[in-house]
Amino acid sequence: MSDNLNYELLNQFAEVYSSKEDPLLAAVNDFTQKNHAEPHMLSGHVQGLLLKMFSLMIRPQRILEIGTFTGYSALCLAEGLTEDGCLHTIESREHTAAIAQNFFDQSPIGHKIKLHTGLAADIIPQLDETWDMVFIDADKTGYINYFELVLPKVRKNGFIFADNIFFHGEALKENAKGKSGKAVKEFNNYINNRTDIEKVVLTVRDGLYLIRKR
């Protein structure tokens, strides 16, 4: 690979040469950018399409999302659900959950999404499901705990996706700074050292760990 590749240009290329953003997703994106204090937390166009494609390939019956935010990634993931499928998504902040629910209500597949408001560590043990897919995109200090909570309930050959594993480049440094950067670096090492899973790092956006349960 050429050393002259520009990361920003690659991102722009990905935006232009990927399928256009769905109108409802564009509305979620626009609202979040204009009204939320942390719009960078949105999955966004290219990563959203990637999640949708993975879901369509896997055709999951049950998906768990930890970290709903304003609902963009949940709407993408729900596209691949089976006819009787359901996506459970957890958001800790009531105001943000209400925004997501409003967008779910506008979607023709919104009835397949069940939104839970509260702490993921409390809600996950209450969900009596076997997961085909799990998407972890919540507080970074909780990543290892969330992984340990969900792995026993993931079916054999099921998948876990963990977002933001670069954490703006901080987790790539030898001495990561800040509690979130340090937590993500610890999570990455924890996943890398496990032998009961297969994993691959995807260099999309802020880094995505794709993990398969053996």
pLDDT per position in the chain (214 positions), as tens? 456 778 889 989 999 999 999 999 999 999 999 999 999 999 999 999 999 999 999 999 999 999 999 999 999 999 999 999 999 999 999 999 999 999 999 999 999 999 999 999 999 999 999 999 999 999 999 999 999 999 999 999 999 999 999 999 999 999 999 999 999 999 999 999 999 999 999 999 999 999 999 9
- The count of residues in the chain is 214
Q: Name the residue range of residue 103's domain.
A: 7-213
Q: Is residue 94 part of a domain?
A: yes
Q: For residue 1, is it within any domain?
A: no
> By the 8 A CB rule, do 73 and 41 touch?
no
Domain tally, the chain: 1
CA distance 41 to 32: 9
State CA 174 to chain mean position distance. Answer: 25
**Which residues are 163's β-sheet partners?**
208
Asked if residue 112 belongs to a domain, the reply is yes
pLDDT at 2: 52
DSSP structural state of residue 46: H
Residue 206 lies in a domain: yes
3-class SS shares of the chain: helix, strand, coil, % to 5: 50, 20, 30
Instruction: List the one residue out of 52, 42, 41 whose CA is nearest residue 18.
Output: 52
Note the pTM of the prediction, 2 decimals: 0.95
Q: What is the CATH classification number for the domain harbouring 168?
A: 3.40.50.150
The amino acid at residue 168 is H
Would you say residue 2 lies in a domain? no
Contact (CB, 8 A) for 56 and 80: yes
- CA diameter of the chain: 50
In the prediction, which pLDDT does 36 show?
Answer: 93
